[in-house]
Amino acid sequence: MGPTVTTRDGRIEGVERDGVHVFRGIPYARAPVGPLRWRAPRPPQAWTGVRDATKAGFAAPQVPGATERIMPGPALETDEDCLTLNVWTPSTPAPPRPVMVWIHGGGFLTGAGSLPIYNGRFLAGGGDVVVVTVNYRLGALGFLAHPVLRDPESGAAGNWGLLDQIAALTWVRDNVEAFGGDPGKVTVFGESAGAMSVGTLMGTPAAAGLFLRAIMQSGSPAALPMDEAGPTAESVLHAAGCDVLEPERARALPLGALLEAQEGLWARRGMAQGLPLQPVVDGAVLERHPSEAIAAGLSAGVATISGTNRDEWEMFAMADPGAARLDDEHLQRRLSALLAAGNGRLGAEVGEVLRTYTGARAGRGQPVTPRDLWVAVQSDLVFRLPAIRLAEAQARVGAPVHAYLFTWESPAFGGALRSCHALEIPFVWGTHVYPGISTFTGAGPEVDALAARMQQAWLSFARTGEPADGVTGAWPRYDAGRRATVVLGPGGTVEEAPLDEERRAWTAAAVA
């Protein structure tokens, strides 16, 4: 018989692996199907007897994305009945341990907490913490938003996946003690859309008090206005066969039709135009943009790590045939269109930005082809500048804030990915040792040392609220004056205001 734990909903049985107890597929909410599609999650139904918790639950319905193609794993079993989580906890008794809750990325469209890259046994076993990974509703099922969909009980008109994350954190608060965890010492961390989720949770009143610390890897608070999200919902439902936006008819649409409509929407927009399905200011879950709530001090008590990878956009440029063919004229056109479409608030002049980026990169010995400049600008606009804004906002309200820049380069595709989006994930989890993943990260003593360093920092932060590692020592705090940033890569320690010429290329509105 495997290890057993009694949760508030019933007993579960897991397995022991290498001194770690593992429990998979634990329901934290009722299946959001039928009349519960596009509703706030309901508490799970209790069970009698002992529930098998040796197999992961279903992933949310999805179509695989770019990250999954680069870091392949076993095919995910998907179903709308997907609101489950997984727990890893050391088998040895001890005082209540810190808890680390992971929210996976994937553009709010793909991913699962059960992916091999998020195997919690390395962090739990080596770091003496309890690790939890969460599934939540994705794509149209998780983030379709429209006033007509408003849930009469919760008031929500979107944010279904965000509400799932809050329900999972509530489950952790109520149950993690049974797994040896401390519900008062929870760190929530995530990457990409997972980091966007973490940042959004920091600005969501209903999530206040559910976590003490937050780590955002390549992502910042996100929410669309309803007047932008509503037409997207109408477009998706129309493509799925619902000519009139009727909630009950929409809830009965076949899953395949919704996924196909969602894919069509993504194909029309593309990554450069932003994520069409994400949290929304719906007047109930989010009454204002989460960044505004953070700036007002909602998460002033939440210690924060915020960081990005140096060449984030390389991951997406590989899937963009036009990027390789860019010349100076077409680059200027792209950037002009980009600023006009959604970043005009930055107030930047395209020619001046390109001159600054060219000079700064040339001075560091970095390539300055039109494609390289496109990647650098997009990496900053989509990832680094928002991360800086978040760090500054938290620092202004007195929260302990730390920043990093990840610079290790992937050897995959002949090194073309450089320090791309998602590359840091296996280093944090220790899963860089898996053969399929090591092709992406590289292998050898330097890789192992960087992974150990990042795990030390993340675990130190989960225990104390202050990251520290064997190379840097205690990480300095971030503020808008010094901008101390820990460099995670070959020879990296602490740099003050890295890539600051590029940051200053944008007007004060970019970093306010």
CA 331 – CA 354 distance, rounded (Å): 9
- 146 and 113 both lie in a single domain: yes
- 105 and 217 both lie in a single domain: yes
Q: What is the DSSP string of 354-396?
A: HHHHHHHHHHTT---SHHHHHHHHHHIIIIIHHHHHHHHHHHH
Nearest to 89 by CA among 52, 145, 132, 59: 132
- 414 and 330 both lie in a single domain: yes
Backbone angles phi, psi at 41, to 5 degrees: -65, 145
Active site residue 238: no
Q: Which of 80, 104, 191, 192 is catalytic?
A: 192
CA 191 – CA 424 distance, rounded (Å): 9
What pLDDT does 512 receive? 37
CA 239 – CA 243 distance, rounded (Å): 8
Domain extent for 462:
308-511
Active site residue 402: no
Q: What is the CATH number of the domain that holds 216?
A: 3.40.50.1820
Residue type, 253: L
- 135 and 169 both lie in a single domain: yes
- 445 and 314 both lie in a single domain: yes
For residue 187, the surrounding DSSP H or E stretch is strand 181-191
- 294 and 318 both lie in a single domain: no
CA 270 – CA 63 distance, rounded (Å): 15
What pLDDT does 343 receive? 52
Residue found by looking up tokens 């070959």 in the block: 490
* Residue 369 to residues 323, 332, 397, Cα–Cα distance (Å): 11, 13, 40
- 350 and 259 both lie in a single domain: no
- 397 and 506 both lie in a single domain: yes
Residue found by looking up tokens 């010492």 in the block: 185
- 245 and 312 both lie in a single domain: no
Active site residue 287: no
Cα-Cα-Cα-Cα dihedral sign, residues 414, 416, 418, 424: negative
What is the 3-class SS of 5-43, one letter each residue?
EECCCCEEECEEECCEEEEEEEECCCCCCHHHCCCCCCC
What pLDDT does 226 receive? 97
340 secondary structure, DSSP code: I
What pLDDT does 509 receive? 39
134 strand-pairing partners: 85, 103
Domain end residue (candidates: 299, 324, 348): 299
pLDDT 10s digits, 92-142:
988 999 999 999 999 999 999 999 999 999 999 999 999 999 999 999 999
Q: Which of 80, 191, 312, 424 is catalytic?
A: 312
- 250 and 326 both lie in a single domain: no
272 secondary structure, DSSP code: G
Task: Count up the domains in the chain and report the number.
Answer: 2
Domain end residue (candidates: 257, 281, 299): 299
Domain end residue (candidates: 258, 281, 299): 299
Q: Which of 146, 289, 421, 432 is catalytic?
A: 421
- 284 and 422 both lie in a single domain: no
Residue type, 453: R
**pLDDT averaged per 10 residues, the chain (length 512):** 95 96 98 96 97 97 67 80 98 94 96 96 97 98 96 96 98 98 98 98 98 98 96 94 84 94 81 83 98 98 98 94 93 88 64 95 97 97 97 98 98 97 98 94 97 98 98 97 97 94 75 38
- Structure token pair of residue 234: 């109408």
- 55 and 120 both lie in a single domain: yes
